[in-house]
A = this chain, B = another copy of it.
Amino acid sequence: MGAVFSADEYRQRISKTKESMKEKGFDLLVISQPANMNYLSGYDGWSFYVHQCLLLHLEQEEPVWLGRGMDANGARLTAFLSEENILEYADDYVQSTVKHPMHFVADVIKEKGWDKSVIGVEMDQFYFTARAYVELERSLPDAKFADANTLVNWVRVVKSEAEVEFIRRAGKIAEKVMDAARNAIKVGARECDAAAAVAYAQYAGTEEYAGDYPAIVPLMMAGEATKAPHLTWTEKVYQDEEAILLELCGAYRRYHAPIARTIYLGKNPPRLLLDTAEVVLEGLSKAMDTVRAGVTAEDVEAAWRKGIAHSKVVKESRIGYSIGVNYPPDWGEQTISFRPGDKTVLEPNMVLHLIPGIWYDEVGFEIDTTFRVTETGYESMYDYPLELFIEG
């Protein structure tokens, strides 16, 4: 086994992260966000249900991995780190009411003489709990803590060529995933059996590329449930004259290509659905026409907004965000959002997911594009028809 990218690629990422640390005045980062840990070390294990982190110090070449003893072999198998940088804590730290893994982290920081530093922690990332912060602060009274919440996330925002290639492969898988959903969703089929076909396609991938688990399970809302995003599936069978929202994804080695489409089963799609689909597709097309290096995220949203201004469609939430490497619960990167006020200037090799979902009380409509920004426009990460699928 071994890390999926070259050591050189990880070193470049570390170097970029250190530049950002210097700029913002951090000596040391405590990185608990699993995607950030993966990005800087290659570490890939489902061990984020216990406390773990990387320590990245300005004066250290490699980050140090700290985790539960039983997961150290996983770090040896998947991270590019040398043996001296894999440190394990004993199992009695796990979910204990008296010991906390952050005590171990603080001990390591002290041993290395980093306890008088400015320490950046990821204050609003899941997996760095309130207790983790309190214990770390209490154990290191001489340190100065500051918020480095999305510091690494922002380093991740422009992808390397190798990362883009991973997302293209995820895109190939996404095409198969959506095909699997469309083949499985028929009047009389159970929702859970369609979800199973989707999961099969996600994990199996293509003949060339193994699939990986996406950071979000298949979201498949049918009938009454189309008034809401973020629901999964039930034992119900699909009905004639029913809409189904599909928010799916292809994933390759933790890199994501989300794909969302809407199916209508039946011959009489409601006027509201048809009108909404038409308006949303028009708005999406206007937004995509705007995309190229140099425009801002809010420019893209403004083009969407202008494109649908003639209609009754109202969309109050953001219409998209940056994506890449990730773990549950989210494939979004928590950096760029397509919404008013986001003045991030798009650069080549940013990869974004534009998904203007609409949920009325009667029915919803979802469609999307996952793309890479180029100098002159964008490259779609998959090739799939942009339409409402009416399976009459």
Contacts and interface: CB of A to CB of B under 8 A. Distances in A.
Contact of A232 (B212, B225, B361): B212
A73 B361 contact: yes
A304 to B, nearest CB: 14
Interface centre among A91, A94, A196, A205 (most CB of B within 10 A): A196
A329 B213 CA distance: 13
Given A73-B361, A192-B205, A46 B130 contact: no
Interface string A122-140: 0111111111111000000
Interface stretch (A10-18, A286-294, A331-339): A331-339
Contact of A318 (B94, B134, B191, B193): B94
Interface string A205-222: 100011111001111000
A74 B228 contact: yes
A203 B213 contact: no
B329 A71 contact: no
Given A197-B200, A217-B213, A230-B74, A129 B131 contact: no
Contact of A359 (B73, B127, B131, B318): B73
Contact of A317 (B94, B202, B210): B94
Contact of A213 (B90, B134, B232): B232
Contacts of A92: 339, 341
Given A73-B359, A219-B46, A210 B235 contact: yes
A78 B231 contact: yes
A27 to B, nearest CB: 19
Contacts of A44: 231-232
A107 to B, nearest CB: 19
Contacts of A165: none
A216 B121 CA distance: 26
Interface residues of A, number: 87
B232 A46 contact: yes
Interface string A67-93: 011110110111000000000001110
Contacts of A196: 199-204, 211
Interface of A: 1, 44-49, 68-71, 73-74, 76-78, 90-92, 94-95, 100, 121, 123-134, 147, 149, 190-193, 195-205, 209-213, 216-219, 224-225, 227-235, 316-318, 321, 328-330, 332, 334, 337, 339, 341, 357, 359, 361
19 contacts: A46-B216, A46-B231, A49-B332, A70-B228, A73-B359, A76-B228, A77-B224, A91-B316, A92-B341, A95-B334, A95-B337, A124-B132, A131-B147, A192-B203, A196-B201, A196-B202, A197-B200, A210-B234, A328-B329
